[in-house]
Amino acid sequence: MTATGDQRVHREVVSFVRRSARMNPSQAKAWQRWSPSHVVPVQTRETSTSVAPQPVPDWDEVFGRHAPIIVEIGSGQGDSLVPMAAARPDCNVVAFEVFEPAVASTLSKMARHEPPVDNVRLVVADGAQGLAHLFHPGQVAELWTFFADPWHKARHHKRRLVSDDLAATVVSRLVPGGRWFLATDWQDYAEWMRATLDEAPGLVNAHADSGGWAPRLAARPVTKYERRGLAAGRAIHDLEYVVAPEAGPR
Ligand SMILES: C[S@@+](CC[C@H](N)C(=O)[O-])C[C@H]1O[C@@H](n2cnc3c(N)ncnc32)[C@H](O)[C@@H]1O
């Protein structure tokens, strides 16, 4: 949102609807126990989920080690995040999720995982803005966006997470050769992603030679969103893009 001179506040176009942030008792307990160490506070603008331009966090200090950075936007309850981060112990994973109770559930899953998952930090904020403001150019090795839009937004294209603007941010924040993995269960949204990202300067469709759709990412577990889509007869589409080595100015 943007405050104007007369103090009115205009909504920014974002890809999510903020729901009530009431936590159940087990989420509240997990939040209290784990958020001080695993949720990274960021400076916001007028809304609590916005991300202000600010000094880039020292991610090595946040994680207590240097490692390649993976970002997830829209991690939900962590159903793919937790097992996928556990399978990549040599990477530091920064996950953006705007819904605080879902972050609390994720923290609880990380703690209950065997062994506990400690290579994830969460940011309760818009991941599109976070990717732009919280990382240096070329600092991110990989990006995950799985079923990140909760509805397909046939008439709300502007509210889709995948956009020309996000593609430009990805090209600037990912390292040349870095990979962006996406999945959706909405056919028209999948086609929109293809149309937008196939044309995005600096991005290359990793499967352009074999029809353009990626094979199902083996590391991606089946979450309730995928199950729901399949149960409703929808096909799941995976996509994979690579930041071109010669991608533009950073
Ligand atoms: C349908 S859920 C999918 C969660 C998870 N990726 C999975 O597959 O289980 C989408 C989540 O993305 C979050 N989300 C959508 N747009 C976002 C954004 N721009 N920044 C951060 N979170 C976002 C929503 O709040 C929601 O929890």
What domains does the chain contain, in order, with CATH numbers? 22-243 (3.40.50.150)
Give the phi and the psi of residue 100 in degrees, each rounded to 5.
Answer: -60, -45
The token duo for 88 is 């990549």
Residue environment code for 134-145, b if the CB has 16+ CB neighbours within 10 A, otherwise e? bbeebbbbbbbb
Atom of ligand 1 at shortest range from CA of 127: 20
Active site amino acids: 149
Token pair 């759709």 is at which residue?
Answer: 213
Q: What is the pLDDT of residues 19-48, one digit of tens each?
A: 667 899 999 999 999 999 999 999 999 888
Q: According to the model, what pLDDT value does residue 163 have?
A: 92
Which residues are paired to 242 by β-bridges?
Answer: 179, 204
Mutate to test the pocket of ligand 1, among 73, 77, 81, 237 (most ligand atoms within 8 A of CB): 73
Which residues are paired to 192 by β-bridges?
Answer: none
Mutate to test the pocket of ligand 1, among 15, 27, 165 (most ligand atoms within 8 A of CB): 15
Q: According to the model, what pLDDT value does residue 56 have?
A: 97
Task: State in Å: Cα 5 to ligand 1 middle.
Answer: 33
Task: State in Å: Cα 146 to ligand 1 middle.
Answer: 8
Residue environment code for 205-216, b if the CB has 16+ CB neighbours within 10 A, otherwise e? bbeeeeeebbee
Is the per-residue pLDDT at 187 higher than 60?
A: yes
Task: State in Å: Cα 182 to ligand 1 middle.
Answer: 12
Residue 148: band (very low, low, confident or very high) from pLDDT cuts 50, 70, 90: confident
Q: Alpha helices, DSSP H only, in the chain?
A: 25-38, 59-63, 81-86, 100-112, 127-133, 164-173, 187-198, 224-231
**Residue 114, number of CB atoms within 10 A of its CB:** 6
**Residues 117, 87 contacting (CB under 8 angstroms):** no
CB-defined site of ligand 1, < 6 Å: 15-16, 73-76, 79-80, 96-99, 102, 126-128, 146-148, 150, 161, 223, 225
Q: According to the model, what pLDDT value does residue 94 have?
A: 98
Spatial distance between the Cα atoms of 34 and 38, rounded to a whole number of angstroms: 6
Q: Average of pLDDT values for 66-90?
A: 98
Q: According to the model, what pLDDT value does residue 171 have?
A: 98
